[in-house]
Structure 1
């Protein structure tokens, strides 16, 4: 099944706190694989405050984020093996809240965070945090389906 990808881009870093999250909708067998979405992370709220925990089985809920997520990933069906990874020149962390719980990670691949595994259908709020309060690191979020 072909993927439907809808992007809402952020024009400037100063708009990040007020912007709606960038929305992406995918189904199994989406293309291109990996799908890449650019973003600007960080904020002034502790990530652990947003998700209600300081750590998950996948890692710590570290850094600072905005109240609104950076992205909302809508999965139209179950994915047996999906990988989300952030690539940035700066040290970031990844926070995901969706069906079945909360997942956080730091340093999945070097300083870049990532989450891999089976994913239920539904909406996932995604934040990319900065370790410095009110700092806005640029990043690329890569969404890859292992086929």
Structure 2
């Protein structure tokens, strides 16, 4: 009986330590900067040139995330919401993905919704707060990309 309890305790301990740990750390300094935007911002779209990709498999995150990303966010937007939607898009000659940790702590992911291998995440009723954004590459490696932030889809 004692052996059985010990085995159960060991199995429980191993299961607890096997839970996935997310390498994405929104508290890290964003690789390509940050900005504060308020509803009605100009220029619209706001453009950020960056290098997409990294060594971390984004599919380890909750939801339907895909793509290789870095540990730190690529860009950080602190947004004061109004009545307009908030849309994040990628433009690249490579297949890019978007992974966003929103102000609500949830993960939002996309691959190809903007067409031609480009990603798009749209918040129809955006919350005010910080959006941490990772631009990934589908299939590994890195690629030059542009992140577009717009309220006029």
> Shorter-chain TM-score: which interval?
0.7 to 0.9
Q: Distance in 2 between matches of 1:94 and 1:20?
A: 15
Under a length normalisation based on structure 2, what TM-score does the superposition of the two structures give? 0.73
Q: 1:53 to 1:82 in 2, by over 3 A?
A: same
Q: 1:105 to 1:39 in 2, by over 3 A?
A: same
Are the aligned partners of 2:56 and 2:71 in contact in 1 as well (CA < 8 Å)?
yes
Between Structure 1 and Structure 2, which shows a larger proportion of helix residues?
A: 2
Q: Displacement of 1:38 after TM fit?
A: 0.7
The residue that corresponds to 2:9 in the other structure is none
RMSD: 1.9
Q: 1:78 to 1:54 in 2, by over 3 A?
A: same
Q: What stretches of structure 1 move > 4 A for 4+ residues in a row?
A: none
- Computing the radius of gyration over CA atoms, which structure comes out larger, 1 or 2? 2
Between Structure 1 and Structure 2, which shows a larger proportion of strand residues?
A: 1
Q: Distance in 2 between matches of 1:20 and 1:102?
A: 17
Aligned length: 122
Structure 1, unpaired ranges of 5+: 1-17, 56-60
Structure 2, unpaired ranges of 5+: 1-27
The residue that corresponds to 1:137 in the other structure is 143
Classify the secondary structure of the residue corresponding to 1:48: helix
The residue that corresponds to 1:58 in the other structure is none
